[in-house]
Amino acid sequence: MNFTLKIWRQKGPDEKGRFVTYEAHDVGSGMSFLEMLDSVNQGLVTKGEEPVAFEQDCREGICGSCSLVINGIPHGPDRGISTCQLYMRRFYDGAVITVEPWRARAFPIIKDLVVDRRALDRIMQAGGYISVNTGGAVDGNVLLIGKDQAEAAMDAASCIGCGACVAACKNASAMLFVAAKVSHLAILPQGKPERTPRVRAMLEAMDREGFGSCGNQYECEAVCPKSISVRFIANLNREYVRAGVVESGLPAEPESPHAESA
């Protein structure tokens, strides 16, 4: 197969970027999208040109490194996968394919298709954890967690932190990312003691980093490689409202904490 690639090239954060056209020849239909880019790069290297910088590592859809907007869609045309899980048989022979980086104010471009996603780490540092010391944890079965509850927490926790949700959103909002983490910990009894400060701190960090607000258009869910549901955004909003109520001095926990975790 042969393809024409229009790839975003940008030397550095403050440089002006532009699309450059490359031809990819003799591409096997069984090659992954990233292997196709590898071979384009090998060609550039042997010609003495600078290879196209892009992120990748595990190449099995779990590390969250790869981050390409392909024909306008983060992670390409298929649902529920990341870029590294996309194969060339998905495209027509002779197709023209545009490749761009994630575009968001909070994700400055480092080079070509590589962006700086440390803003997501800083949101996590603001409160995406349970502050528990190593050692002295009680037996894992002391906390009984219903199967449904554990599954719901796992649905949220499966986020790979790639940032496609931000790239897909016209407001460049990180709501789905924050919602996934807040919900994962708020659903579990271990996360309850800190749930009020956590949701506030993480949302404040999100605003501080320059992410936009949610426009309820659900593009984030559509491109999420783990198909994380926007229901978690509704849950995040509930957590946030609840935090406000708690802070205003009304009773903190109307229900017994035991009833909730059962």
- 31 is a contact residue toward another protein (CB under 8 A): yes
> Toward another protein, which CB reaches closer, 6 or 35?
35
Task: Return the C-alpha torsion angle 48, 54, 56, 59, nearest 10.
Answer: -80
Question: Considering only residues 42, 215, 253, 260, which one is a binding residue for another protein as defined by CB under 8 A?
Answer: 42
Question: Considering only residues 22, 101, 178, 184, which one is a binding residue for another protein as defined by CB under 8 A?
Answer: 184
Beta carbons within 10 angstroms of residue 255's beta carbon: 8
- 38 is a contact residue toward another protein (CB under 8 A): yes
* Least distance between another protein and beta carbon 108 (Å): 11
* Least distance between another protein and beta carbon 244 (Å): 23
Residues 130-159 binding another protein (CB under 8 A) are 130-135, 137-141, 143-147, 149-150, 153-154, 157-158
Q: How many residues does the chain have?
A: 262
Give CA–CA dist 1/28, Å, rounded: 6
Beta carbons within 10 angstroms of residue 143's beta carbon: 12
| Per-residue DSSP letter, 159 | -
- 34 is a contact residue toward another protein (CB under 8 A): yes
Question: Considering only residues 29, 79, 93, 247, which one is a binding residue for another protein as defined by CB under 8 A?
Answer: 29
Question: Considering only residues 117, 200, 219, 239, which one is a binding residue for another protein as defined by CB under 8 A?
Answer: 117
Question: Considering only residues 17, 35, 197, 245, which one is a binding residue for another protein as defined by CB under 8 A?
Answer: 35
Question: Considering only residues 71, 98, 171, 190, which one is a binding residue for another protein as defined by CB under 8 A?
Answer: 190
> Toward another protein, which CB reaches closer, 115 or 214?
115
DSSP assignments along 22-42, one per residue = EEE-S--TTSBHHHHHHHHHH
Q: For another protein, which stretch binds (CB under 8 A), given 32-40, 91-99, 206-214, 245-253?
A: 32-40
Residues 217-236 binding another protein (CB under 8 A) are none
Residue 59 burial (10 A CB sphere; 0-12, 13-18, 19+): middle
Give CA–CA dist 132/105, Å, rounded: 34
CB 88 within 8 A of CB 33: yes
Question: Considering only residues 10, 32, 82, 229, which one is a binding residue for another protein as defined by CB under 8 A?
Answer: 32
User: Which long-range contacts (C-beta less than 8 Å, at least 24 apart) are formed by 10-19?
Assistant: 10/101, 10/109, 10/111, 10/112, 11/111, 12/110, 12/111, 13/108, 13/109, 13/110, 13/116, 17/109, 19/98
- 58 is a contact residue toward another protein (CB under 8 A): yes
